[in-house]
A and B are shown apart, each in its own frame.
Chain A
Amino acid sequence: MSTSIDKSEHAQADDYLNAPQGRVAKVIEHLKRDWQIYLMLLPTVIWLIVFLYKPMYGLQVAFKDYSVFRGVAGSPWIGFEHFETLFSNDQFIRAIKNTFIISFYTLLIGFPMPIFLALMFNEVINQTFKKTAQTIVYLPHFISSVIIAGIVIAGFSPSSGVVNTFITYLGFEPIYFLTKPEWFRPIFIGSTIWQEAGFQSIVYLAAIAGVSPTLYESAVVDGASRWQMMWKITLPSILPTILIMLIIRIGNLLEVSFEMIILLYQPATYETADVVNTFIYRQGLLGGQYDLAAAAGLFNAVVAFIMVMTANTISRRYSNTSIW
């Protein structure tokens, strides 16, 4: 038996010696050896190609005078004309500004929230309370945005909403929240946080669960309080996770959940509510200007790309944590 093993080992060693050295050859060698693994990867690759790469073909209309009748290939090139149109449009400039403001506040308040929740859940000792509380905060994630928006609209309704009922009970005039530009952002940001913070906290809870319990035991013997352990052990231990999540969030920064905006905004609040994606939606789908909308979308994507690259580079340089 041992001789047969020896033989195959020799054969393998010979293979290595005779193997062609190039890059392509290496890839082929890998494919041959681990083809089962690559086979499992295939569905995802196909999905990416069909749904993300193939549509990129249509992106060229951003540089064309597109008409549905001539088709993507048949429409004439016009260079950067759409971009010029966009940047001379006050509404588009306003949409960029709103996108950044809303994104920034969502990040500022919405990003720490799940971390805070996870840390708090981690401190809860009573398991029944913990499970119940977790279920309650996860729940909104599984509810459609349409229903969330319905709840928000009902809650802030001037006549029957709880908020205004309470305000009038205190003897003040009811506020027409959803028609006031100054109220749009707090309401939008608040409701998206309410919807997602709980669910996002799962990632951090998982990271916390990965911290070795002996670190805490050792700290307990050394005399650390729960508060000190949170600051000096838990938080630093999940810092890499926090940074990865931050990079991802910054990459998605301009992807404000625009369906929620569409559901909540109205012409009276466009001033503070209209973002690039809702602008694209109105111009492209409602207005039929696909080429202009494609240009706006491309702009959004390029900015997002630059931001995620920058975030990743900064993180890699200063904390040795990065996605690639």
Chain B
Amino acid sequence: MSGVKLERIVKTYGDVEVVHGINLEVDEKEFVVLVGPSGCGKSTTLRMIAGLEEISTGKLTIDGAVVNRVAPKDRDVAMVFQNYALYPHLNVAENIAFGLRIRKEPKENIKKIVDEVAQTLGLTPYLERRPADLSGGQRQRVAMGRAIVRRPKVFLFDEPLSNLDAKLRTQMRAEIKRLHKRLGVTSIYVTHDQVEAMTLADRIVVMQDGNIEQIGTPMDLFLNPANAFVAGFLGSPPMNQIRATLATGASGPVAQIGNQQLPLPTLPALADANGQEIIVGVRPEFADIAVADTPDQIHINLDLVETLGSEALLHASLGDDSFVLRTGTLGKMEMLDNVTGFTIKPELIKIFDGTTGVAVAGQVQRA
């Protein structure tokens, strides 16, 4: 049971508290991604798990044992750093072997393990090279290799792909995913990139300002963000958020947006809350485009059409809020410039409290 458990973990630097008592349970073999804007405390949390930062208060358990006071080397974790942290004076083989040599593994063993890992990562031709003579992607692989050879209970990744260009990042992302499938080691991965989080994670932990905003599977978070922050963070482009007032229309609750009315799902929570300020959340891909003769549309002012090939992004405004639509281009190219509004099924709309931003009860279901 080599899971990781954080209980009311707090980190303070002097008088400043940067992580505010977070709780998180990572199951064995699970791949959990901590995601959030820069400075929200992801690295600090990860470094506390690694033992590089002292835990101010709270309880950290790895594999069933409390490790608050256990030295990093005895926690049996391996960490991959953003800048790779390769030793410039050692070649690839020596870099990969570093952890094993420190632990005084027998020489033959080391050679065998290093060769094996190099094979897995496609590094065999480069074993004799120094880090300075490698490309970014290769360096990243060496850093991964160094973590893998240790066969730790837990892998920790701190933005390992941030220094790579977009194409390489996509490629390495897939490689990390494959590796995790094969090795099945509990992994905690930090990133500020929501696409990385969505693609890699079994479960995503969204953080903001030292707090956990929501924990869940990528689809959970995508469909049912717990609050407006998570809604605005995940998805690209993120969920549209339109300020509105709750009202009662002809056939149930509606959102009054200026002089337009958008039908909302019939939720008990909305029944008696007429006049309440709300934020209506509409995923850019859940809304359908409407042209002049489409009935029951919500009108928007189209500013700009970005064509991306198979898809297009329509940038528009709705009252004071900006509004983005994402739609397929197939057979619709001529329509795009004439879009006048959108329609959406009420059950695909998310509703957030206008002041707290917390999601109003009700689940969006979509297979």
How close is A221's CB to chain B, nearest CB, in angstroms?
5
Cα of A220 to Cα of B83 in the assembled complex, Å: 16
**Residue A28 lies at the interface, judged by CB distance under 8 Å to chain B:** no
- Tell me the complex Cα distance, A215–B83, Å: 10
Contact: B87 with A214, CB < 8 Å? Answer: no
One of A214, A217, A224, A239 near B102 (C-beta < 8 A): A224
The answer to whether A222 touches B81 (Cβ under 8 A) is no
Q: Quick check: B102 and A221 within 8 Å, CB to CB?
A: no
A220→B52 contact, CB < 8 A: yes
Given contacts A221-B73, A221-B79, A224-B73, whether A215 and B102 have CB atoms under 8 Å apart is no
Rounded to whole Å, the gap between the CB of A85 and the closest CB of chain B is 51
CB distance from B47 to the nearest CB of A (A): 8
Is B349 an interface residue when CB atoms closer than 8 A count as contact?
Answer: no
Cβ–Cβ contact A223 & B102, under 8 A: yes
- A214 with B81: CB separation less than 8 A: yes
Q: Write out the residue numbers on chain A whose beta carbons fall within 8 Å of the beta carbon of B90.
A: 236
**Which of B83, B88, B89, B98 has a CB less than 8 Å from the CB of A222?**
B98
Query: What 1/0 mask marks residues of chain A from 204 to 248 whose CB sits below 8 Å from any chain B CB?
Result: 000000001011011111111000100011001101000000000
**Is the Cβ of B50 less than 8 Å from the Cβ of A221?**
yes
B99 touches A222 (CB 8 A): yes
Residues facing B in A146-177 (CB within 8 A) are none
- The contact string, 1 if C-beta is below 8 Å from chain A, for chain B 86-113, is 0111100000001100110000000000
Q: How far does the alpha carbon of A74 sit from the alpha carbon of B166 in the complex, in Å?
A: 77
B56 to chain A, nearest CB (A): 19
Query: Does B77 interact with chain A (Cβ within 8 Å)?
Result: yes
Q: Which residues of B contact A217 (CB under 8 A)?
A: 50, 52, 79, 81, 85
B29 to chain A, nearest CB (A): 20
Does B59 sit at the interface, judged by CB under 8 A?
Answer: no
With A215-B87, A236-B87 as given contacts, are A221 and B98 in contact (CB-CB < 8 Å)?
Answer: no
Q: How far is the CA of A220 from the CA of B74 in the complex (A)?
A: 10
Asked if residues B89 and A223 are in contact (CB atoms below 8 Å), the reply is no
With A233-B87, A236-B87, A237-B89 as known contacts, state yes or no: A222 contacts B52, CB within 8 Å: no
Name the residue of chain B whose CB is nearest to the CB of A213: B85
Shortest CB distance A320–B (Å)? 11
Chain A nearest CB: distance from B91 CB in Å? Answer: 12
Q: Is the CB of A218 within 8 A of B85?
A: yes
Are A222 and B87 interface neighbours, CB within 8 A?
A: no
The answer to whether A212 and B83 touch across the interface, beta carbons within 8 angstroms, is yes
Q: B89 touching A239 by the CB < 8 A rule?
A: yes
Which residues from chain B contact A221 at a C-beta distance below 8 Å? 50-52, 72-73, 77-79, 156
How far apart sit A26 and B83, CA to CA, in the bound complex (Å)?
40
Q: Check if A214 sits within 8 Å of B85, measured CB to CB.
A: yes
Interface residues on A, range: 10 to 19
Determine the residue in chain B with the shortest Cβ distance to A211: B88
What residues of chain A lie closer than 8 Å to B146, measured between beta carbons? 218, 222
Chain A residues with Cβ below 8 Å from B78 are 221-222
CA A232 to CA B99, docked complex, whole Å: 12
- With both beta carbons as reference points, the residue of chain B lying nearest to A214 in the complex is identified as B85
The smallest C-beta distance from B117 to any residue of chain A, in angstroms, reads 14
B150 CB-CB contact with A under 8 Å? yes
Interface centre among A223, A224, A228 (most CB of B within 10 A): A223
Chain B: interface size category: 20 to 34
> Which of A220, A228, A232, A239 contacts B72, CB < 8 Å?
A220
Contacts of B50 in A (CB 8 A): 217, 221
With a cutoff of 8 Å between Cβ atoms, the chain B residues found around residue A239 in the complex are 89
A236 to B131, CA, bound (A): 15
Does B73 contact A218, Cβ atoms closer than 8 Å?
A: no
A220-B73 CB under 8 A given contacts A228-B102, A236-B89, A237-B88: yes
Question: Closest residue of chain A to B82, judged by CB?
Answer: A214
Cα(A288)–Cα(B37), bound, Å: 78
Residues of B within 8 A of A219 (CB): 98, 102
* In the bound complex, CA of A222 to CA of B72 (Å): 8
Query: When the two chains form their complex, are residues A218 and B81 in contact, meaning their CB atoms are under 8 A apart?
Result: yes
Contact residues, A263-288 vs B (CB, 8 A): none
For A218, list chain B residues within 8 Å (CB): 79, 81, 85, 146
A219 CA / B147 CA spacing, docked (Å): 11
Distance in angstroms between the alpha carbons of A233 and B101 in the assembled complex: 13
| A219-B71 Cα distance, complex, nearest whole Å | 12
* Min CB gap B129→A, angstroms: 15
Q: With A236-B87, A236-B89, A239-B89 as given contacts, are A223 and B99 in contact (CB-CB < 8 Å)? A: yes
Q: Which residues of A contact B83 (CB under 8 A)?
A: 212, 214
Q: A220-B73, A221-B77 are in contact. Are A212 and B103 (CB under 8 A)?
A: no
A contact residues around B52 at 8 Å (CB): 217, 220-221
- How far apart sit A214 and B143, CA to CA, in the bound complex (Å)? 12
- Expressed in whole angstroms, the minimum distance between the Cβ of B44 and any Cβ of chain A is 13
Q: How far is the CA of A236 from the CA of B89 in the complex (A)?
A: 7
A226 to B: closest C-beta gap in Å: 12
Closest A residue by C-beta to B81 = A214
Tell me, in angstroms, the Cα distance from A232 to B102 when the chains sit together: 10
Report A-chain residues with C-beta under 8 Å of the C-beta of B89: 236-237, 239
Q: Which residues of B contact A232 (CB under 8 A)?
A: 87, 98, 102
Residues of B within 8 A of A224 (CB): 73, 102
CB contacts under 8 Å to B, within A181-222, are 212, 214-215, 217-222
Q: Which A-B residue pairs are the 6 nearest by beta carbons?
A: A223-B73, A222-B99, A218-B85, A214-B85, A236-B89, A221-B79
Interface, chain A (partner B; CB < 8 A):
212, 214-215, 217-224, 228, 232-233, 236-237, 239
A-B contact pairs, 16 of them (CB 8 A): A212-B85, A214-B83, A215-B87, A217-B50, A217-B81, A217-B85, A218-B81, A220-B51, A220-B52, A220-B72, A222-B73, A222-B98, A222-B102, A233-B87, A236-B89, A237-B88
Q: Assuming A212-B83, A221-B50, what are 18 further A-B pairs, CB within 8 angstroms?
A: A214-B81, A214-B83, A214-B85, A215-B87, A217-B52, A217-B79, A218-B81, A218-B146, A219-B102, A221-B77, A221-B79, A222-B99, A222-B146, A223-B73, A224-B73, A232-B98, A237-B89, A239-B89
